[in-house]
Amino acid sequence: MTARLTFAASVLSLAVALVCAAFLLPAEVPLHFDGSGDPDRWGSRTEALVTMGLVGGLLALVLGGSAALVDRMPPGVLNVPHRDWWTATPERERRMRTMMRTDLLVIGAATLLLVALAVVATTVAARSDDPALGPHFIVAFAGYLLFLTGWTVWSLRTRYRRTAP
């Protein structure tokens, strides 16, 4: 239940960021930033909002939809370490599917929060005299990558390991 609430909160955060951006973005908006954080492509407020909204909506649909459908997927399509062990009994399979649903919701929430932060960072940059992504976004992006790496390593080494019967 906590993973679902976290995912829902991240969807709401993205929606709030997009609504705020709709009111705060100027007519011309940086749409892409180079490796140093300087804008290298500009576009309209509408293009920015539609693009960010579609990216966030598609991510929410794919990750949230996959989490919702994990119980209906045949075991053969589920990519999990030790799949044969996890699907050997109904109890193990239920536990595996619950963990997979949680994984999708947690990773989805982190991803949507990153997109919401990108909306905020773009809005701040667009309103600034120096329209560059600040170091805060770079640090947040690095934190996101570290979180995903940590979650993946933990999942592969600990979460989905076979346990004694």
pLDDT in tens, 59-88: 999 999 999 999 999 988 888 888 889 999
Q: What are phi and psi of 20, to 5 degrees?
A: -60, -45
Residue type, 133: L
pLDDT at 75: 84
Parse the chain into domains and list their residue ranges: 2-159
d(CA 26, CA 61): 29
Q: What are phi and psi of 162, to 5 degrees?
A: -75, 140
Q: What is the mean pLDDT of residues 126-137?
A: 87
**What tokens were used for 73?**
């997927």
Say if CB 86 and CB 160 are below 8 A apart: yes
- pLDDT-derived band of residue 164, with 50, 70 and 90 as boundaries? low
- Determine if the pTM surpasses 0.85: yes
Instruction: Reply yes or no on whether the pLDDT at 156 is more than 80.
Output: yes
pLDDT in tens, 8-32: 999 999 999 999 999 999 999 999 9
d(CA 18, CA 86): 41
H/E/C letters for each residue in 36-58?
CCCEEEEEEHHHHHHHHHHHHHH
- Average pLDDT over the chain reads 92
